[in-house]
Structure formats: structure tokens, C-alpha cells
Structure 1
């Protein structure tokens, strides 16, 4: 009974709400226009967005222009103007590196000094990371006295372990080991805010590992622990690379023992150092066995691991095995990179396998992989020598489309017998030139 009585009430409520809803409907033929935000509010929200997009586009164009600028004076003046006008420009790390590298290559240390000096007024309101970058830029240009002066003139809040490490890196990059050692000793003693970190010691260690006598490098680990700084994986990987690069496999064995004693778990970079050492000693089968162990038990090999073995096979004249390893990279969850092609392609060209070399070139361009110009130029020269002019021209054309410099990658002028005459100056290609054409 209650249910039957409730039904008419529900029906009446439904009619009331339905009639109420219908009563507020507009007359037929006059649809209600959609609600819009007030024009003033909508405009106030869109103008800043449009301005931000325009500013970003303008800044991108300025950066692109500076990356392509070849005139040192215009590069300096344009750089200073952009960094002064656009605060966001100062977060574009790459344009700083390219500009300094190019000016240093031109011998324009005055230009390097000018653009870095123009950044110093912003130090008070910038982060210590910005200050560290200025110091490292002087290091890249081998202007270590300027790097040191910049550190010592920093505002007190920026005299930190980070900027100290930047100065150490500048000394290390320039090969100024005596100055590096002196700075490591003197600066923390006179600046309480500077406390050497594990990274500080690793910079020292890296420099020591470039010397034939590695006993001081081993002593650094004991010094770190005495000072309460725990060595990390980078510390031991640096030692492993130092010993293997100098052919000191016995000393490298001691480093592995030190890692085990300190419960430092080796990573793929640790094993890559060992692979490199075995390959350098001509112990290719041992390198193969090590790679197989990594595939089975870990750490999983990366592209660098396979590149080492590709290089070993090529050096030993085992081209087919090198090619097979290259073809299996994807199956091994790796991707070919610059080092892969640098290891493989000269060997392929030398063996006269030009179709395979041409295939590699197409893969390089499709993957936007930045190999050195001379690698591509060797393929072009070999194709021209084999009278495959159309294929050679295609490689050059694709290279130009991928921003390789026309003055470096080009068709040879003539061929006599089996020798290319008037070869290009591909060997003059520098890392700085390669970098400035990346991600245009």
C-alpha cells in the first residue's frame, strides 16, 4: 500500500519539476546564446600568453642566429645584447658553450672574456649554478687564470663547493695539475664555506689517472676515507679506466678487490672499462666471454659494451662478426650510436663493401646520428673512386640537409686511377664544429 501511494506522489513531483523546467525555457525561435566569458577577462588572459609565445619564438630565433654566426665580432656583440635583454637567454647553456668554443678556436680570447664579463653583473641575482658555468666556460677556453679570478671575485654566497669544483674542473681540463693541487689545498683552508666533496676528490683522481704512475691515484682513496669522504662508484670507475687505459690489468684487479671490500656494486661502466682493457691487450676471446657473462648475469651490456667488441673484431680483421654484432644491436635492446659507426665504417670502406657503407650512411641520416665528417667523407671518396658518382652525390646532399658543413663534406674534384685527388679537409672537423650543428 505504501508503495502504491508513493507512486502518485512521485508522479506529481515529476510533473512539478518538469513544468518548472519548461516554464523557464525561452520562446521558440529565440535560442539562448551560449554563455561567454566577459570580453575584458578573456582578452586579459590571452594577451600574456600571446606575448609569451612571441618572446619565446624571438629568443629561439636569436639563439639559432648566434649558433650559426661565424663573424667573431658579431657573435660577441649579439651574444652580449641577447644576454642583457632576455633573462631566459641565460638558461640556454648550449649557446654559451658553442660561442666560447668557437671564439677560442678563432683565437679570440678577448671575445671570450667580453661575453663572460658581460654576465658578471647578473651574479648577485643568479644561482651558484650560473656562477659555476662561467668558471667552467673559462676552463673550456683554457683560460684558467680567468677562471680562478672569477672564482675569487664571486659574491660570498656563491663561494661554495659547487663553484670550487668548477674551478678544479677548469684546471683539470687545461692539464694544470700543480695549480689544481694548490687550489685543492688552499681554497678550503681560506673559505670555510668550501668543503671538498666526493666530486672534488674525483676530479683530482681523474687528473691523477692520466699520469703513468697510478700509485698516487690509489693513495687518494685512502686520503678520502681519512677525511671522512666515502669513495663512490664514480671513484672506482675512474680508477678502473685509469688502470685499463694504461694496460695495468694487475692494478685493475686490485681496484675490483677494493670495490668488493667496500660493498661497491660495479655497473656497466665498470665492465666496459674492463672490456676496453681486454680489447687493447688483444684478448678478444676474453672480451667475448666477459660480454656473454654480462648478458647472462648482468649488468646488461649497453651500446658502448658492444661497440668495444665491434672495434675489436674490426681491428682483428673479423668484419663479418663485427657486422653481425652491429645487426644484432636492436635485438640486444641497444641502439647504434656515433661510436658504433666510427668503429665499423672505416673497416667496411677499407674492405670495399660500399653497398654496406652506403646503407650505414642512410641509417646515420635517418637516426640523426652525428658522426664526424671524415667518416662520411671516406665513404664519398670511396664511391667516387668506384665511379659511383650518383651514390656519392646523394651522401653529400643528405649530409648538407643534415647540417654538415659544405666546406668539409663535399665531392672530390678529381680521381686518378684508384686515388682521390684534392681530397677534402674532412680531417679538420673538430668536436666544436660537430656540436654547433647538432639540433639546429
Structure 2
């Protein structure tokens, strides 16, 4: 027994060292901004912002992007990222301070700048602030066109009351003399789908036809997505035929909603066939397409095939995204393959992809159950370092329950080696 225990400890240490080395390059290559460092270039700061999930650090990085020589588009992109981070932590007063300051900048006289402010308030669910900003555009000297009109409609689709879009479209178009365009109607159809008013969405399609307004693949995809999720497959297939008859070519997103349905209700061969149809149509499958194939393989118990797809993503010209790591890790852990789940999780953390609490909890519990305490402690250590307090708050009880809340000193010493 003593010999077996010693062998197990040696094996765990080897695993621990392997994972520590795997992540060390990522940790050391992304130092936190310090006052002694030179200001980051706009592109470098954007990259750091994409990978930084802590709202406090995101705010600090924002100053590296918001400089006079930074393009307006880059600055808007950076602000939107930071607002999303702040919104997840429910730091609404800081969002308001940031965005109200943006309205006082010289660029506020340009509509895209104010569109970004409205969009950000929409992300944060601060819909009253979005409406007020839209109403203030005259005071700000900002032209008001269908661009800002559509931004406000979209903001309502981020709320719990998307059904308000229909009334708003009518009210604001009359009040400000704005003519809704194809994007406006697409937003309206999305709001109706979110409100489970599919018949009304069909009526809007008919209205668009009568008014000779182009129905884009995006609009069709929105409706198809709802039909497939509601398992109204016959209606969805009928809409596909309607698209074809009207000469509207499906894009990658349109195919992906059909692939999504097949991934959850059919065999992998159906998904493979659809991916083949995409390629034949000259459409390159994306990461989402292959994520659904991985999911379908896992749901059908074909984990080795799923691993092959996962490992070949970059060869196919696709980079794994957060959903790739999150979902594949979940299915591997559900199948009891915690070693593979750990590898996928570590690869995701290395790419700064935030894991969901549920799959992470499942993985850590599985590692502990299989006597892999070093790996479990190491994983928690990495998550603590990389992700915000709002993510970690739920971990305390898990750590205490599993007896993993007393190993930080050992971990720090091990990482220093």
C-alpha cells in the first residue's frame, strides 16, 4: 500500500508540473499594467482587454486605448468591452460615469460615438439611460438617423421586455421622422421571436415584402432559430424553401441554426452532411459549426471522434472559442473522463476563456473523487488568478466542502520551483 501511495504521489506531482508549465508561459506573458511600464499600443491593449475579465483591471487598461492617436472605432470597441465586464459585476454607477463622460467628449457630435453609448447602456440593461441618450442627441448636436434608431431598438432586445420594440418602432419613427430600414425590421422580428410571437413575426415578413424591403439572411436566420428551438421542424424547412425561391442565399449563421437542431436531435452523420452542404455552397464552416459536431458526437457517446474534431480545429482554420472549451469539458466530465476534461480546461484557461461554474465544479469534484488533489488545487489556483471576484465568490463553499481551501501555500511554493 505504501509503495502504491508513493507511486500515486509521484504521478500527481508529474501531472502538476506538466499543467504548471503549460500555463506559466501564458501567465508570464500577460503582466498586469504597471505605472513604470510604457503605455501599451492600441492593438496590444485591445488584446489585453479581450483577455482581461476583471472589471478593475479592464478599467485600467482602457486608458491605454483611449488616447488621441487611437482610432474612434478602436476606442468604441474598448469601451464596449469594459462595459460588458462592469455589467457582469453589476457595477452600474461606474458604467454611468464612464458613458456620461463619453457624452461630453468632442466626438459626441458624431452619431457613431453616441450609437456606442446607447449600445453600451443596452448591454448593461440600463434602458432608461439608453432612451435618455437618444432623446439628448439634439442637445449634443448629434445627427439622429436610422443608425441610432436601430441601436436603441437593439438595446430593448437586451431587456426582459423585447415586446416593447414594436410600439417603440412606430412611436419614434413618427416622432423623429425616421424611416425604418431592413435592419429595423430585422430587429423587430427578433423581438417578436424572443417574445414567442412567431405568427406576428411572419406578418412582419409579409409587410416587408409588401413594402419592397429586402429580407436579409440575418432576418430569416432569426426566425429559423426560433422555429428549430421550438422544434417546429416542418415550418423551418418550409422557410428554407421560401428563402431559396426568393433567391436569398443562406450564410454560415443560417446553416448553423439547422446544424444546432440536428446536433441535439439527430446522428453525427446528419451534422456532417450539413457541413458538407455548406462547403459545396462555398460557405466555410466556422468554430460554431464544429462545436455542434463535437456536441453531437458526445451526445451519441462517440468521444474519440469528438476529440479528433477538437484537435483538428486549427487545421480546419478555426480557433476554439469559450463554448468549445466549456461544452467539451462538460461532456468529458459527465462521461467520467476527468483527465481529458482537465486538459481541455487548462487549454481554455491558457487562452483566457472563462469557464462556467457548473462544469468547473463538476471537474474539480471529479478530480477530488479520483484522488487527484494536486490537480484540483492547481486548477482552483489558476482560476483565482485569472478570473474576477464575481466568478470566484461561489467557489468558497465548494473549496471548503472538498477540503481544498488550505493548500494555497503549497501551491505557491510549487509554482515557484
- How high is the TM-score relative to the length of structure 2? 0.72
Q: Is the contact between residue 109 and residue 142 of structure 2 (CA under 8 Å) also seen in structure 1?
A: no
SS of the aligned residue for 2:105 comes to: helix
CA-atom RMSD, angstroms? 3.9
> How far apart are 1:191 and its partner, in Å?
2.1
Indicate how the Cα distance of structure 1 residues 123 and 151 shifts in structure 2: closer, same or farther if over 3 A, else same: farther
- How high is the TM-score relative to the length of structure 1? 0.68
Counterpart-to-counterpart distance in 2, 1:299 and 1:124: 38
Q: Is the contact between residue 227 and residue 236 of structure 2 (CA under 8 Å) also seen in structure 1?
A: yes
Residue 252 (structure 1) aligned to one of 217, 220, 236? 236
Counterpart-to-counterpart distance in 2, 1:346 and 1:271: 25
Q: Is the contact between residue 147 and residue 170 of structure 1 (CA under 8 Å) also seen in structure 2?
A: yes
Residue aligning to 1:324: 308
Residue aligning to 1:392: 376
Q: Is the contact between residue 138 and residue 146 of structure 1 (CA under 8 Å) also seen in structure 2?
A: yes
Counterpart-to-counterpart distance in 2, 1:402 and 1:106: 15
Indicate how the Cα distance of structure 1 residues 411 and 94 shifts in structure 2: closer, same or farther if over 3 A, else same: farther
Residue aligning to 1:165: 150
> How far apart are 1:150 and its partner, in Å?
1.5
Counterpart-to-counterpart distance in 2, 1:126 and 1:67: 31
Q: Bigger CA drift: 174-183 or 238-247?
A: 174-183
Residue 382 (structure 1) aligned to one of 366, 374, 377? 366
> How far apart are 1:126 and its partner, in Å?
3.5
Matched, 1:93 2:70: no
> How far apart are 1:308 and its partner, in Å?
1.0
Residue aligning to 2:273: 289
Unpaired stretches in structure 2, ≥5 consecutive residues? 1-36, 406-417
The one-character-per-residue Cα deviations of 1:79-98 (angstroms, maximum 9, x if unpaired) are 99x79x96568753355335
The one-character-per-residue Cα deviations of 1:101-155 (angstroms, maximum 9, x if unpaired) are 4655565545444433333333675421111111122222222222112211212
Counterpart-to-counterpart distance in 2, 1:299 and 1:79: 37
Q: Is the contact between residue 393 and residue 411 of structure 1 (CA under 8 Å) also seen in structure 2?
A: no
Residue aligning to 1:186: 171
Q: How does 1:31-430 map to 2 (within 5 A)?
A: 68=54, 70=56, 92-93=75-76, 96-97=79-80, 100-101=83-84, 104=87, 109-122=92-105, 126-155=109-138, 157-192=142-177, 194-282=178-266, 284-295=268-279, 298-372=282-356, 374-400=358-384, 402-403=386-387, 407=392, 413=399, 420=402
> How far apart are 1:157 and its partner, in Å?
4.0
Counterpart-to-counterpart distance in 1, 2:326 and 2:69: 37
> How far apart are 1:204 and its partner, in Å?
0.7
SS of the aligned residue for 1:355 comes to: helix
The one-character-per-residue Cα deviations of 1:226-258 (angstroms, maximum 9, x if unpaired) are 233211121112222121121111111121122
Q: Is the contact between residue 224 and residue 231 of structure 1 (CA under 8 Å) also seen in structure 2?
A: yes
Compare CA radii of gyration and give the structure with the larger one: 1
> How far apart are 1:288 and its partner, in Å?
3.8
Counterpart-to-counterpart distance in 2, 1:391 and 1:400: 14
Counterpart-to-counterpart distance in 1, 2:128 and 2:232: 35
Counterpart-to-counterpart distance in 2, 1:399 and 1:322: 25
Indicate how the Cα distance of structure 1 residues 189 and 123 shifts in structure 2: closer, same or farther if over 3 A, else same: farther
Q: How does 1:4-23 map to 2 (within 5 A)?
A: none
Q: Is the contact between residue 212 and residue 246 of structure 1 (CA under 8 Å) also seen in structure 2?
A: no
Q: Is the contact between residue 381 and residue 411 of structure 1 (CA under 8 Å) also seen in structure 2?
A: no
The one-character-per-residue Cα deviations of 1:50-99 (angstroms, maximum 9, x if unpaired) are xxx977679969x98x985659xxx7xx999x79x965687533553355
Q: RCO higher in 1 or 2 (8 Å CA, sep ≥ 6)?
A: 2
Counterpart-to-counterpart distance in 2, 1:372 and 1:358: 14
The one-character-per-residue Cα deviations of 1:285-332 (angstroms, maximum 9, x if unpaired) are 433433344455653322211211221222233323322332343444
SS of the aligned residue for 2:104 comes to: helix
The one-character-per-residue Cα deviations of 1:181-228 (angstroms, maximum 9, x if unpaired) are 122112222323x22121111111111122334122122222123233
The one-character-per-residue Cα deviations of 1:405-434 (angstroms, maximum 9, x if unpaired) are 59356896467xxxx4689xxxxxxxxxxx
Aligned residues: 357
Counterpart-to-counterpart distance in 2, 1:69 and 1:330: 30
